[in-house]
Chain A
């Protein structure tokens, strides 16, 4: 263990996080709620820097301080480990905040909606550029076209090793399977010694 003051020796538990990213309305909060042991909680991060990430659509003065909401849930892995899942807003204007969100994250689930595939591009780009491992999960909304994995991979230009799965985020088992896929991917990377 490193320094006792920073690690807190009397606290026998530590926490890890996974991000759930994707465009607005794709099912991030639904997925977090499906697997969380507590109802999803909401916290707010401040957007303060002048001009940083506040776009015209918000209709806000560029110097106005505003906040962005993050939904999150928790899974107690074992007595020593807690996993937090953070639903992170996918819009590019929040990218400056993603750096802090992504710092130390084990990996990410990028949710896609086949009716609006392009809304997951910013998230895919971000994780690819930062070298953060992720899986792409296509949330199958009722009545939306269900494309084979190969077609989704091609349409989104996703690298070969990145797992792609279909899911229904409303179902606990389905959301859980997505997380299992991500963690198997992470374990496999660790086994072959890929540095995160």
Chain B
């Protein structure tokens, strides 16, 4: 077994000092070592997108990175979306549009959408469909997810935190 390494992860603006083996994925470190279980893990090989987080503002699969690789990067997870007990515009829109049922995929979709709208606030419908096709949802059938994200884009609430 390889030696554990002491690393610091910056998640939602808070520094987490943890000790991990190099083989520990970022998703497992967020959940098991930082105690941030909002990020879900489905397939563990890049297919489902449940584990999507923002790495320096960009959506990535946290199961396809090792935690040691995320040192010095600004990470954001679903726990960082709401502020002072107030839901992020995307969280509210998901609720209003019935864009979740079991919720397993939701944190991944929220982070995917948040990162996308922050970078491309005017993203067109076709590109948005392409981006949202990155993640899997086994419950809602995608239309409501698309509707929720479009609503936030149209309201120009992007990046509202």
The yes or no verdict on A and B being binding partners is: no
